[in-house]
Amino acid sequence: MALLDLLRSNSKPTCEAERTSALAELGGLFPDTEWGVDADFNYYTQANIDNLWSNELRRGIKNKIEGAGLDETDYRTWLGDVHFLNIGIYRRSLFDRYRSNAGWRLVLMALPRAGAILVGLASHYQNAQNHNKLGEVSNLLFDIASEALVSDGKGPMYGRKISSVDWDQNGLFPTPLTSIADVSVAPDVIFLKDIRTTTLKKILASFVAVKALPNSVAQADLHRELKELAVSAKYLSAKVYPFGGLEEFEALRALALQDLAAAGTRLLLRKKSSTRSMVRIYYGPPGTGKTLSAVREAVKLIEPGFDDKGNPAASFEKFNDYRDQGAFITFHPSLQYEDLVESIRPVISEDDDSAENESDMPDNTPSHGKLSYRVHEGLILRMIRRALQTPGKEFVIVIDEINRGDVSRILGPLISTLDSDKRVGAEFPIGIELQYPRAEELESRLFMPSNLHFIGTMNSSDRNIALVDHALRRRFDFIEIPPEPALLKNTNDVNSIDCAQLLKTINARIEHLLDADHCIGHGYFVGCDTNTKVIERLATKVIPLLREYFYGNEGLMLLVLGDTTSQTTNFFKLNPPGKQFEKLFGVAQDTATAFGYRPHTTPKSLELDSRFWNPARLIPGPDDEAYAINCLLKLCFAELPVPANSSSVEGEFNEASDSM
């Protein structure tokens, strides 16, 4: 129990008396043939107490203590003698010629006033280091070590990451502390900053992994925790350590404290990752749910266990929750490299003198602000930096309508880094030199991290938009998202419309006349549970789209909709009275032909029958709902009956062609 007595004690005489026997107990767990042990016993000094009482102790708590008639002396008595005990355990083979506080080492720390015993893995610490930067570097090492342990089947990483909650608040307190010298400070609780100096803050920031145990921990449990951590420490120092010696590791840490992204890149380049990076495009006709598929896949990459259970809104909500790891952008023709990667941009700041005189100036006089320039880092570059700094997480950029932008102009040299084998840690990593590196960066070369994924969507019917070129097509996986009529249901009305069959009929005809890329997606009819909704969708969404598809040859649109003059129900007005050729010109068509007239091959200015849809109504809708439903019902059959005299059908369309 000598070790536990030492760790629990808040008395300097007791600590000094237990030092030898406690270290001997540790020697039984860590033989000196393999391990070395360093012990740092840090006691409060009067200067420590004065600084804590005057500067660190929070004002609200101090007021409560003084309100109870207590002063700095009472506060010191409550603190006790021991600030912290810090015992480092290191492998002799790794640290023969270097300080024992470098690299991967076990740490056993006591915080008696917090009632905590800390067991963890720590790295390098120097007095000059900034604790926030040091904590970020420690978290980077945790991610690297954790990934290696899991991938090699060694189990999860010991403990957890360290954070500012630990060195500034009460994240390491096994039990909240609510009183000082028997004076209650409730509802406040004591933070570590109320009882610690800056030195302890920096030492805590050097923890790569930490686990806080209560003072009441049993000796057997403490020994088991130390042995468990020793196994991981030995493995990490020998296997994950990606450098040939401590000189390189020290250089890495020096770089990380100035440029965390560059350090992360260097680590990953040494580690040889086999991560498969996703670079994918979902393509298909409009309305098939390509964007939903992209967002759903992005969420699964970030949180593999997530399941929206068929509720698309849940996927979008979850994606929006991951604002740091997921980004969404829509490409358009004006986007370029300078927008999404890097550029130099002007900034005009307000000039106080000019602002005061601005009211006296004419309206056409330009204001005089101070012109300066800044480096603009676009969305893609920001996401690259985040992914490099946090290799243990997945990051995704969803690019909607990717073929609406000039992808080569937007990505520029980043195109070469999209391949998974060209990423950080892969077989053939490619670094791209930044045009405008940060002033404080030691390395301007940018590597694409393997944990950054690109998922795009592309509308296959947009033939007027440049498609992805062959170089980019090779780098993307193309996943087709076809229409899925099976997702649609019948309407709930008496004369029910079979939405699935309606979609099948329309798409079969479009595919025959054009191609499969111009089919319409099931999204056009999703949520149509009444006939009225189906009529509205067809009139306001589907038919306008068909007009675009068959612009200049609207007779083909009539074929898709099954409209002929022999039908009793048609979507469009065909051969309206007074519009025949003879009535319009007063001569027979044959006579007009002799004068050089050539019949139109397509009807012009087709007008929807108001019985199917009348946009002039107060609430747009059909003048005759029964008629409109019959128009839809004729499309719910896979095939239409062909008249015995098929030539009559041809005549009907010729007549329609002559109408104006």
pLDDT tens digits along 607-638: 899 999 999 888 999 999 999 999 998 888 64
Which of 554, 541, 557, 545 is CA-nearest to residue 462? 545
Q: Which two tokens stand for residue 111?
A: 């915080």
Residue 307 is classified by DSSP as: -
Q: Give Cβ neighbours of residue 174 (< 8 Å, ≥ 6 apart).
A: 115, 116, 212, 213, 214, 215
Q: Which residues of 79-105 are buried (b: 16+ CB within 10 A; e: fewer)?
A: bbbbbbbbbbbbbeebbeebebbbbbb
Res. 578: pLDDT tops 50:
no
Q: How confident is the model over 73-86, as a mean pLDDT?
A: 93
Q: What is the pLDDT of residues 455-512, one digit of tens each?
A: 999 888 775 444 556 666 777 888 888 998 888 989 998 888 999 999 999 999 999 9
Res. 250: pLDDT tops 90:
no
For 178, how many CA atoms within 13 A lie in the half-sphere containing its CB? 6
How far is Cα 1 from Cα 29, in angstroms, rounded to an integer? 14
Provide the 10 A C-beta neighbour count for residue 373.
Answer: 9
The pLDDT value recorded for residue 649 is: 44
Per-residue pLDDT band at 319 (split at 50, 70, 90)? very high
Per-residue pLDDT band at 364 (split at 50, 70, 90)? low
Counting Cβ atoms within 10 Å, is residue 262 exposed (0-12), middle (13-18) or buried (19+)?
Answer: buried
Res. 50: pLDDT tops 70:
yes
Least confident of 49-53, 180-184, 562-566: 562-566
Residue 284 — φ and ψ, nearest 5°?
165, 180
Q: How confident is the model over 149-165, as a mean pLDDT?
A: 84
* Mean pLDDT over each residue of the chain, to the nearest integer: 81
Q: Which amino acid is at 507?
A: N
Residue 541 or 304, more confident: 541
Q: Which two tokens stand for residue 424?
A: 């950080």
Q: How confident is the model over 420-439, as a mean pLDDT?
A: 77
Which of 510, 503, 505 is CA-nearest to residue 486? 503
Q: What is the pTM of this model?
A: 0.57
The pLDDT value recorded for residue 110 is: 93
The pLDDT value recorded for residue 443 is: 61
The pLDDT value recorded for residue 640 is: 44
Q: Which amino acid is at 170?
A: N
Q: Are 70 and 181 in contact (CB under 8 A)?
A: yes
3-state secondary structure of 351: coil
How far is Cα 330 from Cα 639, in angstroms, rounded to an integer? 40
The pLDDT value recorded for residue 503 is: 92
The pLDDT value recorded for residue 73 is: 92
Residue 348 or 455, more confident: 455
Res. 444: pLDDT tops 80:
no
Which of 495, 484, 511 is CA-nearest to residue 634? 495
Least confident of 206-210, 604-608, 612-616: 604-608
In sequence order, the β-bridge partners of residue 347 are 372
Q: Which two tokens stand for residue 242?
A: 């990606």
Strands (E) located in 350-481: 370-377, 395-400, 431-433, 445-447, 452-459, 477-480
Q: Give Cβ neighbours of residue 46 (< 8 Å, ≥ 6 apart).
A: none
The pLDDT value recorded for residue 32 is: 86
3-state secondary structure of 206: coil
3-state secondary structure of 421: helix
The pLDDT value recorded for residue 224 is: 92
Q: Which residues of 580-591 are buried (b: 16+ CB within 10 A; e: fewer)?
A: ebeeeeeeeeee
Q: How confident is the model over 166-184, as a mean pLDDT?
A: 91
Per-residue pLDDT band at 174 (split at 50, 70, 90)? very high
Residue 529 is classified by DSSP as: -
Res. 416: pLDDT tops 90:
no
Q: Are 603 and 657 in contact (CB under 8 A)?
A: yes
Q: Give Cβ neighbours of residue 525 (< 8 Å, ≥ 6 apart).
A: 488, 499, 502, 503, 534, 537
The pLDDT value recorded for residue 312 is: 85
Counting Cβ atoms within 10 Å, is residue 615 exposed (0-12), middle (13-18) or buried (19+)?
Answer: exposed
How do beta strands 279-284 and 477-480 pair? parallel
Res. 207: pLDDT tops 80:
yes
How far is Cα 405 from Cα 53, in angstroms, rounded to an integer? 61
Q: Which two tokens stand for residue 470?
A: 């062959």
Res. 8: pLDDT tops 60:
yes
Q: Are 8 and 31 in contact (CB under 8 A)?
A: no
Per-residue pLDDT band at 199 (split at 50, 70, 90)? confident
DSSP H helical ranges for 341-469:
352-357, 379-389, 407-411
Per-residue pLDDT band at 551 (split at 50, 70, 90)? confident
In sequence order, the β-bridge partners of residue 345 are 374
How far is Cα 476 from Cα 493, in angstroms, rounded to an integer? 45
Res. 124: pLDDT tops 70:
no
How do beta strands 395-400 and 179-180 pair? unpaired
Q: How confident is the model over 160-179, as a mean pLDDT?
A: 91
Q: Which amino acid is at 564?
A: T
Per-residue pLDDT band at 263 (split at 50, 70, 90)? confident
The pLDDT value recorded for residue 84 is: 93
Give me the residue label for tokens 């493995």.
235
Q: Is the dihedral of CA 100, 102, 107, 111 positive or negative?
A: positive
Which of 144, 419, 116, 138 is CA-nearest to residue 276? 419
Per-residue pLDDT band at 417 (split at 50, 70, 90)? confident
How far is Cα 222 from Cα 231, in angstroms, rounded to an integer? 15
Q: Give Cβ neighbours of residue 372 (< 8 Å, ≥ 6 apart).
A: 346, 347, 348, 349
Per-residue pLDDT band at 602 (split at 50, 70, 90)? very low
The pLDDT value recorded for residue 354 is: 45
Which of 128, 154, 158, 129 is CA-nearest to residue 141? 158
Res. 355: pLDDT tops 70:
no
Res. 70: pLDDT tops 60:
yes
3-state secondary structure of 370: strand
Res. 403: pLDDT tops 50:
yes
Q: Are 207 and 107 in contact (CB under 8 A)?
A: yes
Res. 379: pLDDT tops 90:
yes
The pLDDT value recorded for residue 122 is: 85
Per-residue pLDDT band at 577 (split at 50, 70, 90)? very low
